[in-house]
C-alpha cells in the first residue's frame, strides 16, 4: 500500500513538473517566435506562418480583426487552434489585440495588430553626411592627470562614468565641450556642482578640478559633444519625413546610443571604397560638405531602428524615384530582391537573395538575412560595406526593409530590418 502511495505521489510530481516545463518552454518559444506587433492593410487579408507548439490558440476579442485559417472558417469563428498559418483581416483602421492562449485558458502573449491604410514611400539609397549634437557633453571615460606637484591623480574616478551627460555646471547650461573646458579653467580649483544625466536620471555630482602640470585646471574626463559620419538615406515619405540607417548611431568608444539634441544632413561625396574581406568589413570613405547650400535636412531622433527627421526642398528636388507601396513582413519571401544604392555614383538597384525571414527576431534590425549576388556590386564593394547601412530593400515592387549590418566572416551577407519596424519607431 505504501509503495502504491509513493508511486502516486511521484506521478503527481512528474505531471506538475512536466506541465510547468511545457508552460515555460511554450512561453519562451512564443516570445521569440512570434512578433509583438503585426501590421495589416485595411480590408486586405494577410497570411502569417507560425511554427507553434501544441495547445496554442489565437483569439480575437474585437470584431474589427477577423481570424481565419487555410480551411476558410467563417468569420464568426474566432478561435484558431495551432494553425500552420493564420489569416487576419482588419475591417477598420486602428490598433487591436489578438491573444495567444495555451489550452484556451492561459494567456501566453498578446499581439498588437495595427490596421492601417495602404502607405507609400520613396526608396532613396543616397549617401548623406550626418552631423549629430549630443544633449549635453558626453563622458567617454575617465583618465589620469599629472598635477602641478608631479603626482598622478584621477579626480573623476568613481564620480563620472562612461555614458554620462554633463548638462550644467553650477546651474549654468553647457553648450558644448569648449564651454565645459572654459568653465573648469575659470573655477580656479574651487569645487563645482555638475548636473549629470545618467541612465535617464538627473543627478548632481560635486567635483574639484585639479591644476595640471600644463597650468590648466582639469576634471580628468574624456568628453565628446558631437558625432559625424556617412550613412544611407532609406526613404522619404509623402510628408517629407525621412528614415535612414536602419540602426541607431552609437558612440564609438562607449557603444551607447547617442542621446541627441538635434542634427543635420549634408551633401557628401564618396571618394573611395575599401572592399570587404573575410574578417574585415569594407568601408566607404568620403567627404561631407558642411554649409548652408549643401544642407539636406534636419535630424530629430536617433533610435535603435534608425535616425529620423525631415528633408528640405534641396533634397526633394534631387530625388528621381517614385513612391512605391510599403511591404510588411508577411509580404516578404525568400529569394530574389534588390537593394538600392548610389555607391557607384549613380542610383542603381542591385540583386540580392533573401535567405531568411525571422518573424520573431528579438533584435528589431536583424529580421532579415540577405546575400549580395549582383556581380557588379561584388566587383565594386565585395558585398556590404560600412556606409551602406540604410540601403532600401525592394521586393515585388514594394519597399520591405533596409540593410543594417554585414557579416564579419562573409561580407557578401548581412542583416536587414523590416520596413514596418523603421516606420513604427
Q: 116 pLDDT exceeds 70?
A: no
Instruction: Give pLDDT, residue 158.
Output: 86
Q: Tell me the per-residue pLDDT of 267-323, one tens digit each, with 9 for 90 and over.
A: 998 888 888 888 888 888 889 998 888 999 999 999 999 999 999 988 988 888 888
Contacts of 284 (CB under 8 A, 6+ apart): 127, 230, 270, 272, 273, 343, 385, 386, 387, 388
Mean pLDDT across the chain, nearest whole number? Answer: 83
Instruction: Say yes or no to pLDDT of 171 above 50.
Output: yes
More confident residue, 337 or 98: 337
- Closest of 364, 348, 349, 363 to residue 396, by C-alpha: 349
Q: Can you tell me the distance from the alpha carbon of 90 to that of 322, in angstroms, rounded to the nearest whole number?
A: 28
The band of 220, judged by pLDDT with boundaries at 50, 70 and 90, is confident
Which is nearest to 233 in space by CA: 120, 350, 390, 388? Answer: 390
Whether residue 174 is predicted with pLDDT greater than 80 in this model: the reply is yes
Q: 30: left (phi > 0), else alpha (psi -120 to 50), else beta?
A: alpha
pLDDT band (50, 70, 90) for residue 109: confident
pLDDT of 63 strictly over 80: no
pLDDT at 72: 43
pTM of the predicted model as reported, rounded to 2 decimal places: 0.74
Q: What percent of the chain has pLDDT over 70?
A: 82
Cα dihedral 229→393→421→406 (10° resolution): -50
Is the pLDDT reported for residue 392 higher than 80? Answer: yes
Cell of 48: 502569417
Say how many residues make up the chain. Answer: 425
Give the model's pLDDT for residue 206.
Answer: 92
Assess whether pLDDT exceeds 70 at residue 175.
Answer: yes
User: How high is the pLDDT of residue 25?
Assistant: 64
Tell me: the pLDDT tens digits for 43-61? 677 667 666 666 677 777 6
How far apart, in whole angstroms, are the C-alpha atoms of residue 69 and residue 368? 26
Q: Region 136-145: what's the mean pLDDT?
A: 86
- The pLDDT score that the predictor gives to residue 27 is 65
Q: What is the pLDDT of residue 328?
A: 87
pLDDT of residue 291: 85
Residue 410: the pLDDT is 92
* pLDDT given at position 222: 87
Task: Give the count of alpha carbons within 13 A of 171, CB side only.
Answer: 0
**Residue 30: pLDDT over 80:** no
Contact 330, 47 (CB under 8 A): yes
| pLDDT reading at 71 higher than 50 | no
Contact 154, 282 (CB under 8 A): no
| 3-class secondary structure, 199 | coil
Res. 80: pLDDT tops 60: no
Amino acid at each position: 500500500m505504501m509503495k502504491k502511495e509513493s508511486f502516486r505521489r511521484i506521478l503527481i510530481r512528474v505531471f506538475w513538473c512536466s506541465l510547468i516545463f511545457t508552460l515555460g518552454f511554450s512561453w519562451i518559444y512564443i516570445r521569440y517566435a512570434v512578433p509583438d506587433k503585426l501590421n495589416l492593410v485595411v480590408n486586405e487579408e494577410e497570411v502569417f506562418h507560425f511554427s507553434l507548439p501544441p495547445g496554442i490558440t489565437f483569439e480575437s476579442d474585437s470584431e474589427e480583426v477577423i481570424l481565419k485559417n487555410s480551411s476558410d472558417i467563417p468569420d464568426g469563428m474566432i478561435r484558431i487552434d495551432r494553425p500552420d498559418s493564420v489569416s487576419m483581416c482588419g475591417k477598420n483602421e486602428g490598433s487591436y489585440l489578438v491573444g495567444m492562449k495555451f489550452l484556451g485558458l492561459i494567456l501566453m502573449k498578446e499581439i498588437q495588430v495595427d490596421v492601417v491604410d495602404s502607405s507609400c514611400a520613396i526608396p532613396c539609397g543616397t549617401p548623406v553626411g550626418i552631423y549629430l549634437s549630443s544633449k549635453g557633453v558626453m563622458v567617454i571615460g575617465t583618465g589620469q592627470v599629472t598635477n602641478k606637484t608631479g603626482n598622478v591623480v584621477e579626480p573623476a574616478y568613481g564620480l563620472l562614468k562612461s555614458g554620462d551627460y554633463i548638462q550644467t555646471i553650477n546651474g549654468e547650461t553647457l553648450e558644448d565641450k569648449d564651454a565645459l573646458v572654459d568653465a573648469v579653467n575659470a573655477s580656479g580649483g574651487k569645487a563645482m556642482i555638475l548636473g549629470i544625466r545618467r541612465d535617464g536620471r538627473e543627478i548632481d555630482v560635486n567635483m574639484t578640478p585639479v591644476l595640471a602640470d600644463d597650468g590648466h585646471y582639469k576634471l580628468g574626463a574624456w568628453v565628446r559633444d558631437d558625432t559625424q559620419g556617412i550613412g544611407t538615406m532609406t526613404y522619404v515619405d509623402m510628408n517629407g519625413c525621412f528614415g535612414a540607417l536602419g540602426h541607431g548611431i552609437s558612440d564609438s568608444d562607449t557603444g551607447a546610443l547617442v542621446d541627441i539634441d538635434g542634427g543635420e544632413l549634408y551633401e557628401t561625396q564618396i571618394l573611395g571604397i575599401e572592399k570587404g574581406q573575410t574578417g574585415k568589413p569594407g568601408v566607404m570613405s568620403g567627404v561631407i560638405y558642411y554649409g548652408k547650400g549643401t544642407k539636406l535636412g534636419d535630424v530629430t531622433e536617433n533610435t535603435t531602428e534608425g535616425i529620423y527627421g525631415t528633408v528640405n526642398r534641396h533634397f526633394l528636388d534631387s530625388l528621381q524615384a517614385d513612391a512605391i507601396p510599403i511591404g510588411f513582413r508577411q509580404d516578404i519571401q525568400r529569394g530574389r530582391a534588390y537593394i538600392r544604392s548610389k555607391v557607384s555614383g549613380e542610383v542603381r538597384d542591385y540583386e540580392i537573395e533573401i535567405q531568411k525571414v525571422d518573424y520573431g527576431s528579438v533584435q528589431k534590425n536583424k529580421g532579415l538575412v540577405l546575400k549580395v549576388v549582383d556581380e557588379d556590386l561584388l566587383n565594386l564593394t565585395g558585398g556590404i560595406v560600412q556606409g551602406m547601412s540604410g540601403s532600401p530593400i525592394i521586393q515585388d515592387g514594394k519597399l520591405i526593409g533596409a540593410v543594417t549590418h554585414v557579416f564579419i566572416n562573409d561580407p557578401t551577407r548581412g542583416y536587414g530590418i523590416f520596413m514596418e519596424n523603421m516606420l513604427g519607431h
